[in-house]
Homo-oligomer: A and B are copies of this chain.
Amino acid sequence: MSANTFGKLFAVTTFGESHGPAIGCVIDGCPPGLSISPEDFVADLERRATGRSRFTSQRHEADAVEILSGVFEGRTTGTPIALLIRNTDQRSKDYQAIGEQFRPGHADYTYQQKYGVRDPRGGGRSSARETTMRVAAAVIAKRYLSERYGVRVQAWVDAIGPYRAERFDRDAIEQNPFFWPDAEQVPVLEAFLDGLRKSGDSVGARLTAEASGVPVGWGEPIYGKLDAEIASALMSINAVKSVEIGDGVAVASQRGTEHRDEITREGFQSNHAGGILGGISSGQTIVARMAIKPTSSVLIPGRSIDRQGNEIEIVTRGRHDPCVGLRAAPIMEAMIALVLMDQCLRDRAQCADVRRG
């Protein structure tokens, strides 16, 4: 219910501001008996981490996860799991100025208006820093889904500005800083992003995620549909402006005979639906896409106003990310894993007695 809680049964509550003392989360409803240690968070947090290449901004946080509760002798106990990460890189720069200004394309203006007060340091609560805890919480969800059901979630970037992935090589994805499935295009992208960084501008991106191994039957019609919850989960990620399931926007120009996935004894003959029918997983691979806007934090001056309504010119200083979409793949995976984990528990609550074919 609370706005900073995600999920109904596997409920993740996150807290923390970009430059406050710490960020953290509380995961409630986790099945007991799952093996979890602080080391388990390293890989995905590193995948998401800022500062890992010259193409993402230069914040160097250790992002060491401390497990505060809910785990005893290395196993989850069924009680709330609290995870904490101290913010070690809180530059004590003068934020007085930015607190008085509204950066275009940012949440500064709306937070100020809504709450009458805001923490302007590094974007405060609206910073993408918050997504760290989504990734951390999803480490637990991913593990459970994998161990118990064999579910695997993977995301990659397949469009950056004018570029589209020309080939799909799953093995390439984790081998380059762009989560890009075509190794041959990587040098071109590097040159493109270097140029962009020098120009001070930014660019958008598009990502795709697949969840394989999802059993038939997860998802709750009508308003808790699996695709509706994925839509909400992905749209809640900073900078996301579209969500697609299966063929997505392309369905607007398709014919019914083209779109419907026929079924034979061998199973579905295509997957235009993206693995979801009527809001319920069909047993096929779930396919989702999202588009991420170019960050408005660019080095090229823009017009804005301050709190008094005076017109000002704004230039983002310090860290600059030419394409924030580059680190969104682990976040996208995380949100899909959290949705699946929650729906898994909800399904067995209601339908534990149903024998499925």
Chain A 34-80 interface residues, beta-carbon cutoff 8 Å to B: 66-70, 72, 75-80
Chain B residues whose C-beta falls within 8 Å of the C-beta of A257 in the assembled complex: 201, 298, 300, 302
A266 CB, nearest partner CB in chain B, Å: 10
Contact assessment for A78 and B15 in the assembled complex, using a CB-CB cutoff below 8 Å: no
Pairwise interchain contact B221-A259, C-beta atoms closer than 8 A: no
Decide if A356 touches B235 in the complex (CB within 8 Å). no
- Contact B114 A347, beta carbon cutoff 8 Å: yes
Most buried by B among A263, A281, A302: A263
User: Does A33 contact B304, Cβ atoms closer than 8 Å?
Assistant: no
Residues of B within 8 A of A298 (CB): 256-257, 260
The digit string for A338-357, where 1 denotes a CB below 8 A from any CB of B, is: 00000001111111111111
Given contacts A15-B70, A118-B77, contact A251 B256 (CB under 8 A): no
- A253 part of interface (Cβ distance < 8 Å): yes
For the complex, is A172 an interface residue (Cβ under 8 Å from B)?
A: no
| Chain B CB within 8 A of A329 CB | no
A32 to B227, CA, bound (A): 22
User: Are A225 and B236 in contact (CB-based, < 8 A)?
Assistant: yes
What CA separation (Å) do A105 and B251 show in the bound complex? 13
Q: Is the CB of A124 within 8 A of B79?
A: yes
| Interface residue? A151 (CB, 8 A) | no
Bound-state CA distance A256–B324 (Å) is 11
Min CB gap A8→B, angstroms: 5
Q: Given A68-B21, A201-B256, A256-B203, does the pair A282, B33 have CB atoms closer than 8 Å?
A: no
Question: Size of chain A's interface in residues, with CB distance under 8 A?
Answer: 157
The reply to whether A235 and B231 contact each other, CB–CB distance below 8 Å, is: yes
Q: Is the CB of B78 within 8 A of A292?
A: no
How near does chain B come to A305, taking the closest CB pair, in angstroms?
A: 5
The reply on A228 being an interface residue by CB < 8 A is yes
Question: Contacts A79-B124, A256-B295 given; 16 further ones with Cβ under 8 A?
Answer: A4-B80, A13-B26, A16-B68, A21-B66, A24-B82, A72-B119, A78-B117, A105-B261, A107-B279, A111-B221, A114-B354, A232-B232, A241-B244, A257-B300, A257-B302, A262-B303
Q: Which residue of chain B is the closest to A28 with respect to CB atoms? A: B2
Q: How far is the CB of A144 from chain B (nearest CB, A)?
A: 9
User: What 6 A-B pairs have minimum CB-CB distances, sorted nearest first?
Assistant: A107-B278, A202-B256, A105-B260, A3-B220, A232-B232, A110-B280
| CB atoms of B114 and A251 under 8 A apart | no
- Cross-chain contact A256 with B3 (CB below 8 angstroms): no
Question: Is the beta-carbon distance between A82 and B15 smaller than 8 angstroms?
Answer: yes
Given contacts A3-B29, A232-B231, A262-B304, contact A291 B351 (CB under 8 A): no
Tell me the nearest residue of chain B to A103, going by C-beta.
B260
